[in-house]
Structure 1
């Protein structure tokens, strides 16, 4: 909010990073500048820590079989009972991107957990500031982690079920899709977002206490139900197995800080440079808009059948508002890249966020391959029945229609919120003007006649002015609260919906690319032509054999050898081309199946948005109600006897 708001603002400082739930804002999460190097990670090296640190570290080592991985740290912090998005922030701040975490990083994570349990921002900067008076982290039931890991490994029935739903974190890896070699017992339970991907209606995703899951989260009981409902036919519902890495789905979590550089780029034609700071790579690089635009085009060419973050459109920065919106858009674009595992580990993406040289020079020197990704669709599909993938792709137009409806829905919601925000701010302005008319100006009055008798105020008049001033202050409070709520709705609520809207647009653009690059019609045309040529070739070969057996007869002309060779060449070429087209079509179908599941998982973020939106409304209306109650007290104190105004 603006500094003019001199009353208590329930939402804290302005910016889309404010969680609105009492948690740390994105600004505090980024440590002010977004550079992790600004905060010392060795602040706890000489601090005597409570025994719980050693106990938790020992339990983590046993659970991780001698190492502390990111998954193990998630399970350890899961015993704190903190919300999932707070745990995700702690993991992101403590993790340096290495396969294993050191004891220093582990202790930092526990210290940030202790701060979060005391409603303080869980940042490394906060740990350094409170290193001499750190609270003790509460990890109730941490001993059970060792027990579960020694008896049956760190399974899904370990700390998550004991610590409650807020600490349930599934297995994670670099690949967003589990390998087919992983057993079903180690896979994360399907969520409600994944359940919505089911093709067959009426089948529920099993919970953790159902029968033993088969591949892709389908149980024997579900298969039996499906067979019974379809007259004995095994019409099972396959739920894609997705790595539910919490950072991939937290749309409100920023891993990148972008600000305008003080120095302009270019010699003749100046352009704006941006300082890009990331915590995943602990680096700060300088990039221009064309660099972001280039990396966006590269990712689409490299991964054509994937959803990609949206980059703000090109345009010349004509004013400060345009530049601020561009910085917000580039921040969303960069953070989304680092949230998606297969994009985060791309060689060029790593260069983009870590190489301090000019990016155009990096591209020229690197000579990085920009061909589309090459993979075996049958191998990557794993245990998923290919018929399920094909059935999903057959309903392509239905899903496209649903995505179009989602686009219209979110666009309408964003427009409505922005209108409400403007109305709130306009109401606040009018209330402020109203309060200004109630305010009594305490200034000396010069008498024109020289007599002060007519300017002598009665006691009631003085009391009236005093109470009107109090009413003016109450109206001013309500005015500022309405303007504050309008600002919050514009910068936070609509911003969250805008991020979800970006996901919908990304899905629609990906489906548009798939529709254009679909190979089914072309493959069908070549298949028919190839079948015709095969039949002609078989007929010519049959005639050749028949004429060879009747060599003494001169009644029939033998088939032309050149025609047979030409048909053989055509059949061979068509077969090779058909194999390429069918392989590419299988890649399209598999990617659509996977990306559709990932798209559905993003809907889980709506709970975060609406929960925060409701909390903001309750806080706002509570403060407004208190302001009106105070105004009522001032109104009740106004003098009511007309004769009291006569001096």
Structure 2
């Protein structure tokens, strides 16, 4: 089962600039983590004509080139669910503005795999390249007749465009790169859930809005926005909204790929006190290192110290050794799916340096201070008033996160209870089926047998039918237990990851609350104001004394004036530092709130898979009961048939 962080990265990329060996290593494998040789696996394969037909029609629909949106538009003709199509598009995308024919063929091959209930991954295509199924794209030829500008948003057969159920999205499935509604030339944003926008075509005086504590919008008038923000971008000025500009990084969209695998090493470490070593294999770094749990724990503490104003993954507790490998795998994979962490020097050393990690830390001279950045460089076009307005509702947001924590905790508990009930029902059904199964006992000779001991024809038929019923009940039992396992996995693999994100957000907000500088800033401002007032009085007395109006004037206290000036200068410098740190806290809070809200888009994937699994299991159970009904109808009903 794919990791939650593979489907949508809840943490999002960083606005920080810079590159290093990790980025270069990832780039060598492409944005999806695959080498160029894997992507060229179909170059020498003779493909059916549908590949050429689909490529020609899609290219015409895109005005001579195939973009990511146009490719998604074409793959919707396959009839696959939208989230599967989005997964295929993101896997085939290499991060370039256009899709090459090689990647287009790869996307079609993955589509054909998905249509045959096979995993739509590049690894699967490489394995089945000699016996690939043929993709079914009914009506793909009509794609070439569409307007190129509307190819990504026009109607798809069987889909609605009125916003009702089954509607095709107005933008791609990628929530991080969704453009402003009905304005394809608008900049890519990542906080459509954090800041809403009214319809640009309504003709009314449209205003931007910021999130309120209850999830509603707080209108922000255009007069409060800078002139550059009020200018139109591909539409009326009211169609623009201010959101955190989150830089996209295609590396995070490695769908259904486990970048890190953790397994227990064969030998124990230590001479006197044995400890468990873990082999950590990383695909993107092409490396295998040996680490202890304490090394993972040290990395977790490092993330808190280095990036105190960000959400980052939580390490599993040490007290659960049975689930520790699974938890460490999830923890390590989540780290490498956060672009700003992939660029961290210590993270690179952790996953690539084969030396003992304690030695790496000792000789590495690594920076352990909190990250330093210039908020003015990262703020982009977002007005500072928006950021301050969001931070002013800090307590309301914290209450909302606390409600989310309680909500998902209840959901996880409920699903786990239902899973246990399902498994218990399956066990009892199996016990029931065992009671009606006829034992396979050898039949004794009928010579000199007493009357009624010999089995009649009806009795033999009854035994056979009971055996068939036992098998049907056994099938239902296995399906119920399987459904319980699936629900348990849904809780553990999906909702618990969502719960982890909520906890990470809550911990981050608690750190921010402790580091808030508002009271210190107010204290320095008050003291500065008092000192300046005293200095002004002394300066006034000095000026009046210098006029020499009376001979009894008090002497000028030059020492007090100099001390006050030095104190005011020191306080001003300290005040500037505090204000800079406070701006960093407020900006990071604004960005992390946006990412936290974007992560709710994962619920569509979770519930879609959950409902799909329930429908599949209930369908199989229904068929098993129908088969049992047929068998029950065949049971002999005439009492006299049982008498020899």
Alpha-carbon distance in 1 for matches of 2:406, 2:636: 56
| Alpha-carbon offset, residue 112 of structure 1 | 3.6
Greater CA deviation, 51-60 or 525-534? 51-60
CA 1:110–1:243: 2 relative to 1, 3 Å = farther
**Contact 1:427–1:482 (CA<8 Å) still a contact in 2?**
yes
In structure 2, list runs of 5 or more residues that go unmatched.
Answer: 8-31, 157-167, 211-217, 226-237
Alpha-carbon distance in 1 for matches of 2:506, 2:209: 34
Alpha-carbon distance in 1 for matches of 2:41, 2:508: 46
1:410 and 2:408 correspond: yes
Alignment match, 2:232 = none
- Cα deviations across residues 312-348 of structure 1 (Å, max 9, x unaligned)? 0123xxxxxx434212222222222222222222232
Alpha-carbon distance in 1 for matches of 2:144, 2:565: 69
User: Normalising by structure 1, what TM-score?
Assistant: 0.76
- Cα deviations across residues 358-403 of structure 1 (Å, max 9, x unaligned)? 3333333432222222122233112212111111111111110110
Name which of 171, 194, 206 aligns with 1:222.
206
Alpha-carbon distance in 1 for matches of 2:411, 2:220: 40
Alignment partner of 1:455: what SS?
coil
| Alpha-carbon offset, residue 512 of structure 1 | 0.3
**Contact 1:254–1:332 (CA<8 Å) still a contact in 2?**
no
Alignment of 1:165-314 (within 5 A): 165=169, 168=172, 185-188=185-188, 194-198=191-195, 204=197, 206=199, 210=200, 222-223=206-207, 238-243=242-247, 254-314=258-318
- Cα deviations across residues 419-450 of structure 1 (Å, max 9, x unaligned)? 11111111111111111111111213669997
Alignment of 1:103-114 (within 5 A): 108=106, 111-114=109-112
CA 1:231–1:355: 2 relative to 1, 3 Å = closer
- Cα deviations across residues 510-532 of structure 1 (Å, max 9, x unaligned)? 00000100000111111101110
**Contact 1:252–1:496 (CA<8 Å) still a contact in 2?**
no
Name which of 409, 419, 426 aligns with 2:417.
419
User: Normalising by structure 2, what TM-score?
Assistant: 0.77
Name which of 332, 335, 340 aligns with 2:333.
335
| Alpha-carbon offset, residue 77 of structure 1 | 5.7
1:373 and 2:377 correspond: no
Alignment match, 2:13 = none
Alignment match, 1:618 = 615
Alpha-carbon distance in 2 for matches of 1:406, 1:356: 41
CA 1:59–1:430: 2 relative to 1, 3 Å = closer
**Contact 1:277–1:284 (CA<8 Å) still a contact in 2?**
yes
Alignment match, 2:600 = 603
Alignment match, 1:29 = none
| Alpha-carbon offset, residue 115 of structure 1 | 3.5
**Contact 1:144–1:159 (CA<8 Å) still a contact in 2?**
no
Alignment partner of 1:257: what SS?
strand
CA 1:646–1:433: 2 relative to 1, 3 Å = same
CA 1:274–1:105: 2 relative to 1, 3 Å = farther
Greater CA deviation, 619-628 or 335-344? 335-344
**Contact 1:249–1:605 (CA<8 Å) still a contact in 2?**
no
CA 1:350–1:130: 2 relative to 1, 3 Å = same
Alignment of 1:91-102 (within 5 A): none
**Contact 2:33–2:284 (CA<8 Å) still a contact in 1?**
no
Alignment match, 1:27 = none
CA 1:345–1:49: 2 relative to 1, 3 Å = farther
CA 1:146–1:525: 2 relative to 1, 3 Å = farther
Alignment match, 1:567 = 564
| Alpha-carbon offset, residue 223 of structure 1 | 2.5
Alignment partner of 1:267: what SS?
coil
Alpha-carbon distance in 2 for matches of 1:598, 1:35: 23
Name which of 341, 344, 351 aligns with 2:342.
344
- Cα deviations across residues 543-591 of structure 1 (Å, max 9, x unaligned)? 11111111x6331222322111111111111111111111111111111
Name which of 341, 351, 354 aligns with 1:353.
351
How many corresponding residue pairs? 580
Alpha-carbon distance in 2 for matches of 1:231, 1:96: 40
Name which of 568, 578, 583 aligns with 1:586.
583
- Cα deviations across residues 215-258 of structure 1 (Å, max 9, x unaligned)? xxxx99522999x9999976997443445768758998743333
Name which of 630, 634, 638 aligns with 1:637.
634
Alpha-carbon distance in 2 for matches of 1:458, 1:421: 44
**Contact 1:80–1:137 (CA<8 Å) still a contact in 2?**
no
CA RMSD of aligned residues (A): 4.6
- Cα deviations across residues 454-492 of structure 1 (Å, max 9, x unaligned)? 521222222222222222111111111111100111113
Alpha-carbon distance in 1 for matches of 2:463, 2:415: 39
**Contact 2:422–2:480 (CA<8 Å) still a contact in 1?**
yes
| Alpha-carbon offset, residue 185 of structure 1 | 3.5
Alignment match, 1:79 = 74
In structure 1, list runs of 5 or more residues that go unmatched.
Answer: 1-14, 22-33, 149-154, 213-218, 316-321
Alignment of 1:17-28 (within 5 A): none
Alpha-carbon distance in 2 for matches of 1:263, 1:35: 31
**Contact 2:458–2:642 (CA<8 Å) still a contact in 1?**
yes
CA 1:400–1:252: 2 relative to 1, 3 Å = farther
